[in-house]
Structure 1
């Protein structure tokens, strides 16, 4: 099994488009703002926007640079990991540094845990904070387990969300 986490690019646009097209606009808190786009819109607008966001260019007000990674399993695009490069007050109190989603037919195979492990390795050289901040809906215990499998601990919770921290620095 070959599992890789690579930044989104135009080289694999067909596979990346199929991945994003297969994922709902919002599922368990993972937001896919590119759901419903045509292939041409995805290629000419979405990918350039994601690459700009990673470079910190043309950011909407209140946004921080964020890199979009695709999780590849044996050459198939199976998941998305969005890594925000630093926190704002809003991100610190809410979604945190990272959002991720795995294509439905690949769930339950440990790929989210393995993908998060790969994302943590990338985060160590990007994130200035000593911990990665994450959140997940309370009705999504699988996501909480993924975070805990990667050294996450429950920092706090509210009526809807668990807020988890994963140490990045030793």
Structure 2
């Protein structure tokens, strides 16, 4: 089975919409938080990602970052991952350098461990020596994924956005 981490491309629109539908079917709010633009204008979403990578027209509180998609041999999008090139005060509290999502139907199959491992390699190549990765206290799957990839718990903070406890992990590259 071939799995690959690729940058977003227009030819993957149908597969991306399938992934969004999977989130909708599972009543997860990740679309509203992250992918709403893609739901109504995919090309505009890709343009937004390219600008975000260059740090152009960033929303308040955001920093330059790149996104990749984890694909299988059928070009199904198993998950997405974002690498922030630097972290600001907000991302230092929660969010960190890396954020990832695994599509609901592909969870508990090892893809979370894989996507984090692959993005850690990209971060290493880009010159990062350590990265911060966070997850909600009650997200047991992400906690295990981060620890499997070498995450060392620094502390727990309370999210200003959600009020939930957030675990803050550092990973040495």
Does the CA-based 8 Å contact 1:21-1:35 persist in structure 2?
no
**Is 1:138–2:137 an aligned residue pair?**
yes
Report the alpha carbon displacement of residue 35 of structure 1 after superposing the two structures with TM.
7.1
TM-score of the two chains, using structure 1 as the length reference: 0.85
**Is 1:98–2:102 an aligned residue pair?**
no
Q: Which residue of 1 aligns with 2:61?
A: 62
For the structure 1 residues 61 and 158, does the alpha-carbon distance in structure 2 shift closer, same or farther, using more than 3 Å as the test? closer
Q: Choose from 150, 166, 169 the match for 1:161.
A: 166
Q: Encode CA deviations 1:12-69: one digit per residue, 9 max, x unaligned.
A: 2221232234333339xx942427823xx1x232111012111222212332111111
Distance 1:165 1:32 in 2: 24
Q: Which residue of 2 aligns with 1:32?
A: 34
Distance 1:101 1:45 in 2: 21
Q: Which residue of 2 aligns with 1:9?
A: 9
Give unpaired runs (5+ residues) of structure 1.
none
Does the CA-based 8 Å contact 1:134-1:164 persist in structure 2?
yes
Report the alpha carbon displacement of residue 104 of structure 1 after superposing the two structures with TM.
0.8
Distance 2:71 2:166 in 1: 28
Give unpaired runs (5+ residues) of structure 2.
159-164
Distance 1:16 1:36 in 2: 8
The two structures, once aligned, show a CA RMSD in angstroms of 2.1
Q: Which residue of 2 aligns with 1:112?
A: 112
The count of residues paired between Structure 1 and Structure 2 equals: 162
Does the CA-based 8 Å contact 2:4-2:72 persist in structure 1?
yes
TM-score of the two chains, using structure 2 as the length reference: 0.84
Report the alpha carbon displacement of residue 127 of structure 1 after superposing the two structures with TM.
5.5
